Chains A and B, each alone.
Chain A
Amino acid sequence: MSATTQTPDEALAETGTAVVAPSPRSRSVWRWIGMPLFLLGIIAAIAIAINTKDIDSIEARSLGLQHILRATGEHLLLTVFSTVIVLAIAVPLGIALTRQWTRRFRGALITVANIGQAVPTIGLIALMAVAFNYIGFGASVIALVACAVLPVLRNTMVGIQGVDETVLEAGRGMGMSRGAVLRKLELPLAVPVILAGVRTALVINVGTATLAAYINAGGLGKIIIAGLSTNRILVTVTGAALTAVLALLVDYLAGVAEQLLRPKGL
C-alpha cells in the first residue's frame, strides 16, 4: 500500500522547501491528535442527538448507554480476535509460500484464500448456521477470518518478494544461513507492506463484524439491524456511525503501530 510512499513531511524535508510549511513540530502534533479529536467530535454529536431527541421505547432499548457499550465491546472483541487469528494463519503461510519448497502448491493455496474472500461474508455466516448448525461468537470469527486472510497473505508475499535481490545476495555473501537471511533481511524489509495488509484486514473485520449480529454474536450490527427492522433512523445511524468511528479508530491505532514498528533507517 503506502510502503514506499513518503509522507508530506518526509518529502518536504528532502526537497528542502519547508519554508512555507508550518513548523514540523506543530504539524506532527496535529497529525497524532487530529483523528482522535475528529472521532470524539462524532461521538459527541451522536450523544447530543440521542439526548435532545424525544425517544420512544424502541429507541430507548437500543440506544441505552449500557447497551451501546456492550455492543461496542462485543464488536471490538470480534474484530481483535479474528484479526489475531488472521495474523497467526496468514503471516506464517505467506512466508512459507515465498520459499522454494512450496512452489508446487502455491497456486492451489492462493486459490483457496481467494475463494474465502470471494464468498460474501453474509453467505458464510448463513452457511455456518444452516449447514453446520453453528452460531455465535466462534462461527462469526470463522467467517470473518475466512474473509480477511487474503489481504494479509498477499501483502506478506508481496512484501517479501519485493525485497531487492542484491541485498539478499549481499547477505548470503556474508555467510548468512537461509534462516538468518529471512529473519535479518527479508522480514524487516517486508514489515511495512505486511503491516499495510494487517491494517486492511482490521478495517475489513470492523465492517463485516456487523453481520455477526445475525447469528447471536452481538456487536454494533445489533444496533444497525434493530434500527432497520423497526424503521428507526436514529438507531440505524447511531449503529452505522459508531461502526465507522471504530473502523477509523482501529485504522488510526494501526497507523501508529505501523510508525513505531517500521524498522529504523528505512
Chain B
Amino acid sequence: MRMHRTFRTALTAAAATLALAVAGCAGDTNVNQSGGDAAKGGSLAKDYDLKGESFVVGSKEFTENKVLGQITIAAIQAAGGKTEDKTGISGTATVRAALTSGEIDMYWDYTGTGWVNILGNTTTNLPPDLFKAVSDADKANKVTWIGPSPLNNSYGLAIKKDVAQKEKIKTMSDLAAYLNKNADKSTICAASEFLQRDDGLPGVEKAYGMQFKITELDFNLVYPQVGKDCTVGEITTTDGRVKANDLVALKDDKKFFVPYNAALTVRSEVADKSPDLAKMFKKIAEALDNEKMMELNGKVDIDGDKEADVAKEFLKDEGFIG
C-alpha cells in the first residue's frame, strides 16, 4: 500500500509538471488552416513561374511567424506552385530541425536567432552586416537565407503613451534617466526568457545603467499590465498589442538589442532548383517593415482574423496578387 501511494504521489507530481510543460510549449498546430481560394493574379503570377513544383511550408508557433508562413503559401500558389501547410511548429529548435531534416522546405527565421541560437555565436562583437554573416555561415548547413526584410522583430521596452508624453521619454536612455530619479517607478513586467538571457534584461540594465524591480509574468500578460503593476514592459517590436494597449516602444538608442530581421530560410537544395523562389521572396521581404507587420499581427491578435486571410490581404494591398 505504501509503495502504491508513493508511486501515485510521484505520478501526480510528474503529471502536474508535465501539464505545465505542455501548457508552456504546445502551440496551435492546426496543420491545414489556409482555407479559401488559392491566391491568383497580380505581379507574382506575371513575373514568376513555379508551375508543377510543390513545397512544404513551415513556421514557428507565434502569430507573426504564422502570418509569414501564410504569406509564403499564398505567394507560391499565386506563382502556380503547390504547397503543403505545416505552419505552427513549436520552438525554434524544432522548426529548424524540421527544415534540416527535409520535413519542411522553408520557414521564416530571424537574423539574431540565426546568429545566436542556431549558429551558436554570442551577442557581443556582432558583425556589421548580420544578414550577410548569417547567410554565409549557414551555407555550410545547406540552408539558404532569402531577404533580409526591414522587419526587425527585436526585444524592446515600452511604457504607457501618456507617461511617455508627460515625462518626454522617447529613448531607453531617457527612461534610464527618469528611473534613476524615480526609483519607486522602476518595476518591469517581463517573461522568464527575457529575464534569463544575456541579451535580455541583465544586459539592458548594464548597458543603460538602470536597475529594475521585477514582476515575472507570462509574456501574454505583460501588455495589459504595463501602467498598472509596472511602469515598463518587455515587448517585441512588431507586436500589435503595443498600440492596442496604448504603449510606445522606446528607441534602443545604444543599439543594445540584436537585430532580428526576418528572412525566409529555405533548404539550399530546394532554393537552387527553383531560382524564382529567391527573386520572388526577396521582393516580398522588402515590402515588410515593423509598421506593416504590427498591423498584420494586430489583425490576428486583436481583431481575431485568420492568418491566411490577413496574409492574402497584405499580398493584395501590395499588388503581389490580384
Give the B-binding residues of A (Cβ under 8 A): 1-2, 5-8, 31, 35, 57-58, 61-62, 120, 122, 126, 129-130, 133, 135, 203-204, 206-208, 210-211, 213-216, 218, 221-222, 224-226, 228-231, 236, 240, 243-244, 247-248, 251, 255
| B9 engages A247 (CB within 8 Å) | yes
- B15-43 vs A, Cβ < 8 Å mask (1 yes, 0 no): 11101110111000000000000000000
A229 near B221 (CB under 8 angstroms)? no
Kindly list chain B residues whose C-beta atoms are within 8 Å of the C-beta of A203: 9, 12-13
Q: How many Å lie between the Cα of A129 and that of B25 in the bound state?
A: 20
Q: List 9 A-B contacts (CB under 8 A).
A: A62-B196, A129-B218, A207-B13, A208-B16, A214-B217, A216-B216, A228-B24, A231-B91, A255-B5
Would you call A226 and B196 a contact (CB within 8 A)?
Answer: yes
Contact check, B9 vs A222: say whether CB atoms are below 8 A apart. Answer: no
Which residue in chain A gives the minimum CB-CB distance to B191?
A229
Q: Please tell me if B229 contacts chain A, counting CB pairs below 8 Å.
A: yes
Q: Which of B210-233 contact A (CB under 8 A)?
A: 215-218, 221, 224-225, 228-229
Contacts A130-B224, A133-B224 given: A240-B17 contact, CB under 8 Å? yes
Task: From A58, A129, A211, give the contact of B197 (CB < 8 A).
Answer: A58
Known: A31-B2, A135-B225, A215-B217. Is A229-B13 also a contact (CB below 8 A)? Answer: no
Q: Contact at B10–A248, with CB atoms within 8 Å?
A: yes
Q: Does residue B93 face the partner (Cβ distance < 8 Å to A)?
A: yes
Asked if B182 is an interface residue, CB under 8 A from chain A, the answer is: no
Known: A243-B17, A247-B13. A225 touches B217 (CB 8 A): no
A215 in contact with B13 (CB, 8 Å) = no
**Given A130-B221, A211-B23, A216-B216: 7 more A-B contacts, CB < 8 Å:** A7-B1, A122-B23, A133-B225, A203-B13, A207-B19, A210-B20, A228-B24
**CA–CA, A62 and B215, complex, Å:** 16
Interface residues on B, range: 35 or more
B141 contacts across to A, CB distance below 8 A:
none
Q: Give the nearest-CB partner of A239 in chain B.
A: B17
Please name the residue on chain A nearest to B3 by beta carbon. A8
Pick the most buried of A214, A215, A224: most chain B CB atoms within 10 A of its CB.
Answer: A214
Note all chain B residues with C-beta closer than 8 A to A221.
Answer: 20
CA distance A39 to B123 in the complex (A): 40
Is B16 a contact partner of A207 (Cβ separation < 8 A)?
yes
Distance in angstroms between the alpha carbons of A7 and B3 in the assembled complex = 11
Residues of A within 8 A of B202 (CB): 57, 61
- Residues from chain B with a CB closer than 8 A to the CB of A57 are 198, 202
Contact status A225-B24, CB under 8 Å: yes
The SS class assigned to the B binding surface is helix
C-alpha gap A122/B220 in the complex (Å): 13
A12 CB to nearest chain B CB (Å): 13
Residues from chain B with Cβ under 8 Å of A216 in the complex: 215-217, 229
Bound CA span A126–B1, Å: 38
A210 partner residues in chain B, CB cutoff 8 A: 16-17, 20
Q: Please state if A7 and B2 are interface contacts (CB–CB under 8 Å).
A: yes
- A67-B14 Cα distance, complex, nearest whole Å: 22
**Docked CA distance A250–B2 (Å):** 15
| B180 touches A (CB below 8 Å) | no
Q: How far apart are the CA atoms of A236 and B192 in the complex, in Å?
A: 12
Given known pairs A58-B197, A61-B196, A204-B12, the reply for A126 and B221 (CB within 8 Å) is: yes
Asked if residues A133 and B17 are in contact (CB atoms below 8 Å), the reply is no
Q: Which of A31, A62, A206, A230 contacts B13 (CB under 8 A)? A: A206
Complex Cα distance, B20 from A244, in Å, reads 13
Of listed B2, B13, B23, B216, residue having the most chain A CB within 10 A: B13
In the A-B complex, the 5 residue pairs with the closest CB atoms: A207-B16, A247-B13, A229-B193, A214-B218, A244-B13
B66 to chain A, nearest CB (A): 19
Cross-chain contact B221 with A214 (CB below 8 angstroms): yes
Say how far A54's CB is from chain B's closest CB, in angstroms.
15
Chain A residues, CB < 8 A from B198: 57-58
Q: How many angstroms between the C-alpha atoms of A58 and B196 in the bound complex?
A: 6
CB of B218 within 8 A of CB of A226, answer no
If the complex has contacts A31-B2, A58-B197, A216-B216, are A207 and B17 also in contact, measured as CB distance less than 8 A? yes
Q: Tell me the smallest distance from the CB of B90 to a CB of chain A, in Å.
A: 11
Interface: B195 (CB within 8 A):
yes
User: A248 contacts B13, CB within 8 Å?
Assistant: yes
- Interface: B101 (CB within 8 A): no
**A126 to chain B: which residues have CB within 8 Å?**
218, 221
Q: Which of B68-94 contact A (CB under 8 A)?
A: 91, 93
- Tell me which residues across on chain B come within 8 A of A135, comparing CB atoms: 215, 217, 221, 225, 229
What B residues does A129 contact at CB under 8 A? 217-218, 221, 225
